[in-house]
Structure 1
Amino acid sequence: MKTYLAGPETPPGNAFPVPGRPASPIDTAHVADLISQLLTALGEDPTREGLIDTPNRVAAWWVEFFSPRDVTTVTCFSESQLSDQMVVVGGMSVWSLCEHHLLPMNLQVTAGYVPDGEVVGLSKFGRIAEHFAGRLQVQERFTEQVAEYLTSVIGRKDVAVAVRGMHLCMGMRGVRMEAARTTTLHIGGQFATNPVLNQQFLAAAQWNAA
């Protein structure tokens, strides 16, 4: 068993900001005050019974949202009997926020890789997805961040990630197409050069999204 320090988004000294992550700690009191002001601007009374604690609850949620579980350490297990397998983990559902409208998006994630002498701990896939969802996002960038992270863990480009997203910024505003779904794909290494492997992953991803 080996434990790897992974995380291409966290350079030494945090030399540059990470897209979608706050550059400084969240001022919960200020956020609560802003929510109270928003309620007033919307014609509501933030002091009425149903809204008295709403600003504080919303502020607490923002802190929770921007504090996903850490995945800087990823455990890999030695495994000699792999026999040219492909590993696909699907059924991962995470919520994120569209940075253009601050509305939720639900992302269904399927990730695959080709192991070589060791396998990645399965629970880490879900934590990686949660980690990159816990910020202001766009689905395209989320897909690449998950793929880049997995690539850094296994040390090769043999990684594929499929994401199927339901965006409330499209379903409850604008064109209001509730059934619309967006699919993004990252296909790297053998998944890009081996058409059989490519089709096997796409079939698995479609099955997991059904």
Structure 2
Amino acid sequence: MIHKTGPSSSLAGLTVAASSAAPAMPGPHINTRRVRDLISQLLVALGEDPAREGLTDTPERVASWWNTFLSPDNASTATCFTESRLSGQLVVVGGMSVWSLCEHHMLPMNLQVTVGYVPAGKVVGLSKFGRIAQRHAGRLQVQERFTRQVAEDLAGMIGSDDVAVAVRGTHLCMSMRGVRMEAARTSSLQAGGRFGSDPVLSQQFLALAHDNIRSE
């Protein structure tokens, strides 16, 4: 895994790393009642009154959000379409933006995702790329692991390692705490198969990924 962190860092110049298919990990079980009680305790610890106007339903709302966020749709199946004449074509899907939570500080991170693959007799339904990204974002995460998991999920779906995933993240744990560098961005890349052995294909993907991110 190669990643860069810095103000407005781009994808250009990233080195390709190999990936291999692996099953997605199931989401955690959420005890919403316990979460609600813990939020009430947190408000008290922060010097607030959970019973005051404005906070009365806050623990319930927060518990409901955690339940929704950590329960992404894992049941959706991949839709692939036979297209035998497209073998060897580079397909890049960008413009996908998902929210996740940094597992080190439990603060949000926004991840802009671009994926690429080389069809081998079939193409993947476009909406599935967004669902894959959402599924792996809906948990406590780090960007590097998220990038790898999306690549492995896609590789398992198409039955090939000819997959590349580029992610550009904005991390509130860096923007609003610590060094508080609001312009800092982190770029990560996971790639395998032909993307690791064919420099032309790799550069084509990086160029399209960079264009996708720049246009957002």
Q: Deviation per CA, 1:11-65: give whole Å up to 9, x if none.
A: xxxxxxx5xx42xx32211111110111111111111111000000000000001
1 CA distance for matches of 2:22 and 2:56? 41
Q: Deviation per CA, 1:114-153: give whole Å up to 9, x if none.
A: 0011101111000000000000000000000000011111
CA separation of 1:157/1:98 partners in 2, compared to 1, >3 Å: closer, same or farther? same
2 CA distance for matches of 1:8 and 1:129? 14
Aligned match of 1:69 in 60, 73, 79? Answer: 73
Structure 1 runs (4+) greater than 6 angstroms displaced: none
Aligned: 1:209 with 2:197 = no
Q: Which runs of no fewer than 5 residues in structure 2 stay unpaired?
A: 1-20
Give how far 1:71 is off.
Answer: 5.1
Aligned: 1:171 with 2:175 = yes
Contact 2:87-2:121 at 8 Å conserved across structures:
no
2 CA distance for matches of 1:8 and 1:50? 43
Alignment of 1:137-152 (within 5 A): 137-152=141-156
2 CA distance for matches of 1:83 and 1:8? 25
- Report what 1:132 is aligned to: 136
The one of the two structures with greater contact order (alpha-carbon pairs below 8 A, sep at least 6) is 2
- Report what 2:23 is aligned to: 8
Aligned match of 2:115 in 108, 111, 117? Answer: 111
- Report what 1:40 is aligned to: 44
Aligned match of 2:61 in 57, 60, 65? Answer: 57
Give how far 1:184 is off.
Answer: 0.5
Q: Deviation per CA, 1:91-120: give whole Å up to 9, x if none.
A: 000000000000000000000000011101
SS in 2 for 1:186: strand
1 CA distance for matches of 2:137 and 2:128? 14
2 CA distance for matches of 1:8 and 1:200? 28
**Residues paired across the two proteins, number:** 194
1 CA distance for matches of 2:201 and 2:45? 55
TM-score (norm 1): 0.89
2 CA distance for matches of 1:135 and 1:83? 35
SS in 1 for 2:134: helix
Contact 1:71-1:131 at 8 Å conserved across structures:
no
TM-score (norm 2): 0.86
Contact 2:87-2:118 at 8 Å conserved across structures:
no
**Aligned AA (1:91):** G
Give how far 1:154 is off.
Answer: 1.1
